[in-house]
Amino acid sequence: MWQLVSITLYGGAPGEIGGNRILLEWPEHRWLLDFGTRFGQTGRFFEEFVKPRGATLGLRDYLRMGLLPPLDGLYRSDLCAHDPAIFGRYKGHSMYRKVEHVDGVLLSHGHIDHLGCIGFLKEDIPVYTGLMTALIGKCLQDPNPTRVDGEFNYLVPRDSKESGEILEVRKGPRVQRQYYVAETDPALGAAMEQLREFWSWVPGERSSITAKPLEVRDPAKMGLRFWRVDHSIPGSGAWGIETPIGWIIYSGDLRTHGHSAYRTEKFAKEAAALKPALLIVEGTRVPALRTVGDEVLTEPIVQQACDDVVRQTKGLVIADFTARNIERLRTFRDIAKARGRRLVITTKDAYTLERMHVIDPNIPTPGDDGIAILKEPQGNTPSWEKDVCEKHETCFVQAKVFRQRQRDPQRARRVHPLSLLLGHQQPDRHGARRRDVHLLRIRGLQRGAGD
């Protein structure tokens, strides 16, 4: 009986945080459970300024360095147009196999270690997920629309250059991947209508797109279940797949210490009622809750600790978190307002938050009291950013303000992880004391690998 269903982990195996790529198959169906970036494997060979040459060499670096499994037939043909025999070199590889058809990707949430490699998949492989996750993927791609490893929403077709050795962008429209919303809540209909034009738009005055509108698909009619769960990014979900051996449950990333803990509890009860044959759970801290002394560490405790630091600091405070962590964003917005400061976010964050707000009006936007946008010096303003500038002209703070009035703004952005808290006053070369600059790094509450 167990031979009826096969599960292969091409990432996210025990000992690896994130990078989930799970192929679930039986004779009638074949599903991918997420298809994310493997940060650990990628970090062995590449770093911020040394990247795989996807734009010019397509799949070549990714296959050679083990960043993608050699699954012949799974990936876009245009990414090996300059090297059509590439998979012939991997027939002796232990992971090599032909994949004729995939029903779709069951995407759990919008962290890169779960969606980061979706852009490599054949263009006819659809994605099933929640509305918020679908939207986040597009907002992540729009500021960098032509990065192969960032084509989460629409593809930039490529052709072999005349020399036959490298790829170049094909003239013509972008090609949008089909996304199906696995939530049947009627209340989402209004948000989908409001986002319809945005979904079918791509940045760049000369760019166009072969659009595929968002569609709702009831997972129950496909032998699937989709539950929302609590996680550090909105829209996170878990999946249930009905198979010949019974239900297989895939949790994606989840937690129970956030404001939406009730979602995780509801998922656990309903999934248990299905009496699953197999439970696939991702969790790096499942055995015990994080504590400080005798207290379970929760977001209110983090807020109080951060507020204490901000209250005692006269200078600039830099907080390390992604703005898509909405609970943490609210925490620092509330702290900033209470202390007469402003929470300053980037234009990319503002671009994403504005669209997320359409789905969930409780998500802060640049128009909220206490939130401003950093105006960084630059030459040409890209079309996606012009949209932010026009809609929120009065919300911008010039970069020079950080030098002239260091004690006013509180800037929140993702920075390189350092220690929990660095506070220092260092004398300059003339012996004068500089204003305090504090870097606030929150530890204890687990971040997803894709945060």
Instruction: In whole angstroms, give the CA distance from residue 124 to residue 180.
Output: 13
Confidence of residue 440 (pLDDT cuts 50, 70, 90): low
Residue 416, Cβ density class (10 Å: 0-12 exposed, 13-18 middle, ≥19 buried): exposed
Return the CA Rg of the chain. 23
| Long-range contact set of residues 283-292: C-beta below 8 Å, sequence gap at least 24 | 283/251, 283/253, 283/254, 284/17, 284/446, 285/446, 289/256, 289/257, 290/257, 290/444, 290/445, 290/446, 292/444
Output the pLDDT for position 412. 38
| DSSP type of residue 343 | E
Task: Find all residues with CB under 8 Å of 192, minimum gap 6, and list them.
Answer: 131, 181, 214, 216
Amino acid type, 20? N
pLDDT at 30 over 90: yes
Output the pLDDT for position 284. 54
Mean pLDDT, rounded, for 193-212: 92
pLDDT at 319 over 90: no
E-only strand ranges, 278-324: 278-282, 291-292, 295-296, 316-319
Output the pLDDT for position 295. 64
Confidence of residue 376 (pLDDT cuts 50, 70, 90): confident
Output the pLDDT for position 286. 52
Confidence of residue 158 (pLDDT cuts 50, 70, 90): very high
Nearest to 127 by CA among 104, 155, 149: 104
Q: Which residue has the higher pLDDT, 447 or 388?
A: 388
Q: How far is CA 56 from CA 119, 151, 412, in A?
A: 15, 15, 35
Instruction: In whole angstroms, give the CA distance from residue 406 to residue 312.
Output: 15
pLDDT at 245 over 50: yes
Token code pair at residue 1: 């009986």
Mean pLDDT, rounded, for 355-372: 90
pLDDT in tens, 77-131: 999 999 999 999 999 999 999 998 999 999 999 999 999 999 999 999 999 999 9
Nearest to 434 by CA among 315, 339, 317: 315
Output the pLDDT for position 441. 55
Output the pLDDT for position 233. 95
Instruction: In whole angstroms, give the CA distance from residue 431 to residue 450.
Output: 42
pLDDT at 433 over 50: no
Q: Which residue has the higher pLDDT, 435 or 135?
A: 135
> How high is the mean pLDDT of the chain?
86
CA angle 112-368-448, nearest 5°?
A: 20
207-221, 321-335, 345-359, 420-434: the lowest-pLDDT one: 420-434
Output the pLDDT for position 146. 85
Ordered domains of the chain (ranges, CATH): 2-282 (3.60.15), 291-440 (3.40.50)
Q: Which residue has the higher pLDDT, 431 or 72?
A: 72
Output the pLDDT for position 435. 42
CA 194 to chain centre: 22
Instruction: In whole angstroms, give the CA distance from residue 350 to residue 348.
Output: 5
pLDDT at 386 over 80: yes
Mean pLDDT, rounded, for 378-383: 84
Mean pLDDT, rounded, for 7-13: 92
pLDDT at 266 over 90: yes
pLDDT in tens, 38-75: 999 999 999 888 999 999 999 999 999 999 999 999 99
Amino acid type, 306? C
